[in-house]
């Protein structure tokens, strides 16, 4: 069966520091991969999605970037965090229909 792993689960970072959140999917090949952000009291905002290795689509201009170095690995990065980057980050995958989520990473920028 397919599983999705996302880490770290919790992160507290100072303003201006770098960020790296990692997500891996097991048990499937060539999945579509997604990064969402959920700010307090708000809905899920699609940040990036990828339909293949090296193929990244950005949905919202922001301080973040994404990479897909391997088929089942998706990384969310920032060179310098802003206070507004705080939130709950969720990785997800699909094979074209049903969407499945990881457990999320809570980022607090101080």
- Residue 105: name the closest of 79, 72, 74 by CA: 74
Smallest separation (angstroms) from other proteins to the CB of 97? 6
**Distance separating alpha carbons of residues 1 and 7, to the nearest angstrom:** 20
**Distance separating alpha carbons of residues 80 and 15, to the nearest angstrom:** 7
**For the chain, how far is it from start to end, CA to CA, in angstroms?**
39
Q: Does 103 bind other proteins (CB under 8 A)?
A: yes
Among 31, 34, 75, 78, binds other proteins (CB under 8 A): 34
Scanning 11-19, 29-37, 60-68, 77-85 for contacts with other proteins by CB under 8 A, the matching segment is: 29-37
Q: Does 42 bind other proteins (CB under 8 A)?
A: yes
Scanning 19-27, 62-70, 72-80, 85-93 for contacts with other proteins by CB under 8 A, the matching segment is: 85-93
Q: Cis omega (within 30 of 0) on the bond before 8? A: yes
Q: Does 46 bind other proteins (CB under 8 A)?
A: yes
Quick one: 59 or 80, whose CB is closer to other proteins? Answer: 59
Interface residues toward other proteins, by CB under 8 A: 6, 32, 34, 36, 42-44, 46, 49, 51, 57, 59, 88, 90, 92, 94, 97-104, 106
């Amino acid at each position: 069966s397919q599983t999705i792993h996302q880490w770290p689960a919790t992160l507290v970072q100072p303003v201006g520091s770098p960020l790296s959140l990692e997500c891996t999917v097991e048990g499937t090949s060539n999945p579509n991969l997604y990064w969402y952000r959920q700010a307090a009291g708000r809905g899920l905002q699609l940040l990036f999605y990828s339909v293949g290795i090296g193929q990244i689509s950005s949905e919202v201009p922001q301080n973040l970037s994404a990479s897909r170095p391997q088929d089942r690995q998706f990384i969310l990065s920032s060179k310098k965090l802003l206070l507004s980057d705080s939130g709950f980050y969720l990785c997800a995958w699909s094979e074209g229909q049903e969407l499945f989520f990881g457990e999320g990473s809570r980022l607090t920028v101080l």
